[in-house]
Structure 1
Amino acid sequence: MPMIDRRTLLAGSLVGAALSSATMAQGAGPAFPLPAGFERFPIWPGKAPGGEHVTVQEQEMLRQLGSSTDDTAFSHVTTPTLTLLRPARPNGAAMLLIPGGGYTRVAIGKEGYAIARRFAEAGYACFSLVYRMPADGWAAGAEAPLQDAQRALRIVRALGHKEKFDPERVGVMGFSAGGHLAAWLTSRTPRESYAPVDASDREPIKAAIAAYMYPVIQMEGPFVHAGSRTQLLGANPSPERMRVYSLEHDVSADTPPVFLAHALNDAAVPPENSLAMLAALRAKGVTAECHLFENGNHGFGLAPAPAAPAPWPDLFLNFAKRHGL
């Protein structure tokens, strides 16, 4: 009974047998060591779906020159993973973090490890997702990252009992292009993007709350982030295709409460992306809170003052607590 075996593996020992970050799944040699306290494991029981014609090789590198060794980014992801940080004092809830990177890479150090530490301090079990890139030749094309996000959310929920949090108290937070993926995952009526592979896929694609941080939302119009659109949809997508992937359209009335934050001086992903999403959420009667900061530029993450805007993690935590997370 393979489904039962895989469920047992997932719920009983998947995290305990987490992959060492010093070994790439494709045998590509040593990568950067995981920061202390983190564990990493693959989200698919075998190879990720639809990779028959994928030839890219996964890489982990410093996010920028001068970054510390735990400020890294993954490109050409072939083995999607979750990286878990357990809280010292659990509050019974979890967060799925989806870092950004323009759909060309996943900046796990800045918008994974650092954010996970902050929210683990508040009691959340934190899972950071490294997802596949849409232009790397996967059969699913643009939906390859959505497959990973849906699978990751289901795995997080399935691990609730083992990791001592309520599966109904899982939040999703995405940053930049990861904000697009988080909104895609949580703001539309769930649609199966892959064939089930084990019993964890019986879990609903459902989050208790969602947060879109300086998100890419629009794939059409004057405020689009052209780099993300090109990676997701190609150089010359049709108007119909751009509309389909512009997430201010087709928002579900069942979207969980949403927290948005954006800097008004963001020159990379204009704040009109968050404003368009806020308007769409309000039109559907979805509970939402939106913070627009004077400064911060794009990708402010946990930048220290005075570069950072107001302490958005505290604003988010207050929002989360009000809505039961």
Structure 2
Amino acid sequence: MADVLQHEAVLPLWDERPAGTPADLTPTIDERSKNLFRADRALTGIAEPSLTAWVPENPNGTSIIIAPGGSYRRVVLDKEGIEIAKALAPLGVTSFLLAYRLPGEGHTDRADAPLADAQRAMRLVRGHADEWGLNPDRIGFLGFSAAGHLGASLATGYDRTTYEEDKEAHVISARPDFVALVYPVVTMQDNGVHKGSRSALLGDNPTPQQKSDYSPEEHVSTDAPETFLVMADDAPSVSPANAVAFYTALHEAGVKAELHIFRDGGHGFGIEGAQDKPVAGWPNLLAEWMVQTGAMPSPSEMTLPTGLEETR
């Protein structure tokens, strides 16, 4: 591992393919955009999970692992990945874009594969924080849509044993210092569930025990990290009840949290897709929350959409 973190360096999470990964799994990128000048790529066939570093010009020591959504069936690379990292860079935040295993692609540890990758990613960043010039106490996790479920699962199950590891590595905590969930899938219970994400994670006929075990709102403890949540009330696929349920559980456990539900915005808006809608202000709210919670020092510029425009 390099002593100095390189911009756009790809960091494998595991020394070799995780056990139980299908031998014939091959990475595939599908371009879904109908606009020649705006990419909308989706990655499948993730056999070798990784982090891709996005290092700002003036790092402030804060880092965040960005997990794009995709119904646990794909990883959306642009609007919930690189677009977000570019927007955070002017604030001094070092981003790590997470390509995590997709549970429905034949992995033997299906339901735990994404969480194992998220835990490993946290330990990798924290374990190398000093040599990369990062603060090991200011590492966050930002999850979109189905990866909102992954973020909530990490917030409540960061200490679960999901993979075999040497004792030295397991000493490193996988707990995020802060969590942000954007239009998140959370519950696996019938009321409010996003069925596509649940079937990808647990199969078509999960048991009542599985539904409970993989519903993060049922496992919130006082040790959960502070959390920021944002949704749009008119989301057609993922009910705002998901974010509300997780916020309520955090509040009842005494964990500070902030919840924003906007009148309009739909689902999957990212940053560019939120423009000219009430929900467009969510990136600035996130930045302000990060400063207020001590997740990052106050930057000279707090307008994230403007920073994004400058990177086009």
Shorter-chain TM-score above 0.5: yes
**Aligned equivalent of 1:109, options 73, 78, 88:** 78
Looking at structure 2, the residues matched to 237 and 104 of structure 1 have their Cα atoms a distance apart, in angstroms, of 17
Q: 2:186 is matched with which residue? A: 217
When normalised by structure 2's length, the TM-score is 0.89
Which runs of 5 or more residues in structure 1 are unaligned?
Answer: 1-9, 17-36
Q: 1:12 is matched with which residue? A: 3
The one-letter code of the counterpart of 1:153 is M
Looking at structure 1, the residues matched to 34 and 120 of structure 2 have their Cα atoms a distance apart, in angstroms, of 33
**Aligned equivalent of 1:43, options 3, 6, 13:** 13
| Change over 3 Å in CA distance of 1:166–1:125 after alignment to 2 | same
Looking at structure 2, the residues matched to 135 and 86 of structure 1 have their Cα atoms a distance apart, in angstroms, of 32
| Change over 3 Å in CA distance of 1:168–1:222 after alignment to 2 | same
Looking at structure 1, the residues matched to 33 and 206 of structure 2 have their Cα atoms a distance apart, in angstroms, of 30
Task: Give the SS at the match of 1:232.
Answer: helix
Looking at structure 1, the residues matched to 32 and 179 of structure 2 have their Cα atoms a distance apart, in angstroms, of 26
- CA shift for structure 1 position 159: 2.4
Q: 2:307 is matched with which residue? A: none
Looking at structure 1, the residues matched to 37 and 125 of structure 2 have their Cα atoms a distance apart, in angstroms, of 28
Q: 1:231 is matched with which residue? A: 200
The one-letter code of the counterpart of 1:252 is S
1:78 aligns with 2:69: no
Mapping of residues 279-318 of structure 1, within 5 Å = 279-302=248-271, 303-307=273-277, 309-318=279-288
* Cα distance per residue 1:19-62 (max 9 Å; x no partner): xxxxxxxxxxxxxxxxxx523221111122322x4433221122
Stretch deviating more after TM superposition (182-191 or 302-311): 302-311
1:59 aligns with 2:28: yes
Looking at structure 2, the residues matched to 189 and 163 of structure 1 have their Cα atoms a distance apart, in angstroms, of 23
In 1, are the aligned partners of 2:145 and 2:184 still within 8 Å (CA)?
Answer: yes
The one-letter code of the counterpart of 1:245 is Y
Looking at structure 1, the residues matched to 274 and 236 of structure 2 have their Cα atoms a distance apart, in angstroms, of 20
Identity %: 36
The one-letter code of the counterpart of 2:284 is D
The one-letter code of the counterpart of 1:40 is V
In 1, are the aligned partners of 2:158 and 2:174 still within 8 Å (CA)?
Answer: no
Looking at structure 1, the residues matched to 184 and 45 of structure 2 have their Cα atoms a distance apart, in angstroms, of 21
The one-letter code of the counterpart of 1:38 is E
The one-letter code of the counterpart of 2:214 is Y
When normalised by structure 1's length, the TM-score is 0.85
| Change over 3 Å in CA distance of 1:69–1:238 after alignment to 2 | same
Looking at structure 2, the residues matched to 12 and 308 of structure 1 have their Cα atoms a distance apart, in angstroms, of 43
1:182 aligns with 2:151: yes
Looking at structure 1, the residues matched to 62 and 242 of structure 2 have their Cα atoms a distance apart, in angstroms, of 29
Higher helix share: 2
User: How many residue pairs were aligned?
Assistant: 294
